């Protein structure tokens, strides 16, 4: 694992966003679904000619689509969680609760679900670009000095606690393999670890 060194998280400008931007899942997932299905989305105030919808199934990585339809194939029997959000052409996400949807559904048969295996803490979606720009999506949470912040941890070392919801560029990384973890913290600097969620650790290379 390459060393972290003097790594800094530098905030990047975020495009001015319209309060009319909205993403909605049209497909009714309340019934038991087949293993192959199509998701239909309705998008308002946001062009898909140059931008994307990011779709994350269960704990699999994000798939970017440039239309309002997404085809899912060979889904396993049982419980699934789909999350979708709006993404700019530079692969950073729209920072609005209206630009995010999630839905639980079952394939082939509805099984007794004692746990939610694909529940995620905040931030719930993290992206890492080739130029070491990281971005994340939070929902139902306000980031501010008086509420919550996001802790950026690279190679198990805290880089920064940020309370501004914008993309960040990691500067000063040594060439090689690195790990990234983002976690929500409270005003006392304590990581929000309850209830127990999936660990959001990502590996990337510089």
- DSSP code at position 74: S
Same domain, yes or no, for 90 and 31? yes
For residue 153, the model assigns a pLDDT of 94
Would 195 be classed as within a structural domain? Answer: yes
Is the separation of the CB atoms in 125 and 54 below 8 Å? yes
The Cα-based distances of 161 to 121, 149, 199 in angstroms read: 16, 6, 18
Domain boundary among 47, 80, 107: 107
The residue among 85, 107, 129 that closes a domain is 107
In a domain, 115, yes or no: no
pLDDT in tens, 10-57: 999 888 777 789 999 999 999 999 999 999 999 999 999 999 999 999
136: exposed, middle or buried (Cβ count in 10 Å: 0-12, 13-18, 19+): buried
Residues 39, 82 contacting (CB under 8 angstroms): yes
Residues 95 and 126 in one domain: no
Q: Using the predicted structure, report yes or no on whether residue 150 has a pLDDT greater than 60.
A: yes
Q: How confident is the model at residue 76 (pLDDT cuts 50, 70, 90)?
A: very high
User: Does 26 share its domain with 103?
Assistant: yes
Q: Which domain holds residue 195?
A: 120-205
Q: What is the band of 1 on the pLDDT scale with cuts at 50, 70, 90?
A: very low
* Cα 96 from chain centre: 12
Q: Find the CATH number of the domain harbouring 28.
A: 2.60.40.10
Do both 102 and 143 map to the same domain? no
pLDDT band at 3 (very low <50, low <70, confident <90, very high): very low
- What total of structural domains would you count in the chain? 2
Query: Model confidence over 176-191: pLDDT tens digits?
Result: 999 999 988 999 999 8
Domain presence at residue 63: yes
Is 17 within a domain? no
Residues 78 and 132 both lie in one domain: no
Last residue of a domain, one of 83, 107, 131: 107
What are 95's strand-pairing partners? none
> For residue 88, is it within any domain?
yes
Q: pTM value?
A: 0.86
Residue 112 lies in a domain: no
């Amino acid at each position: 694992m390459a060393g972290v060194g003097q790594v800094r998280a530098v905030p990047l400008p975020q495009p001015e966003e319209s309060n009319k931007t909205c993403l909605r899942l049209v497909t009714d997932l309340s019934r038991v679904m087949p293993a192959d299905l199509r998701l239909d989305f309705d998008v308002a105030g946001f062009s898909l000619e140059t931008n994307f919808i990011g779709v994350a199934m269960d704990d699999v990585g994000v798939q970017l689509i440039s239309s309002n339809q997404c085809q899912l194939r060979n889904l396993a029997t049982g419980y699934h969680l789909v999350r979708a959000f709006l993404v700019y052409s530079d692969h950073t996400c729209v920072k609005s609760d209206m630009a995010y949807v999630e839905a639980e559904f079952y394939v082939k048969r509805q099984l007794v679900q004692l746990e939610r295996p694909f529940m995620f803490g905040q931030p719930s979606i993290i992206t890492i670009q080739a130029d070491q720009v990281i971005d994340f999506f939070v929902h139902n949470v306000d980031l501010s000095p008086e509420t919550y912040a996001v802790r950026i941890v690279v190679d198990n070392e805290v880089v920064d606690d940020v309370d501004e919801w914008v993309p960040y560029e990691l500067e000063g990384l040594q060439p090689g393999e690195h790990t990234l973890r983002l976690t929500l913290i409270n005003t006392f600097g304590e990581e929000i670890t309850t209830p127990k969620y999936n660990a959001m650790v990502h590996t990337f290379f510089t």
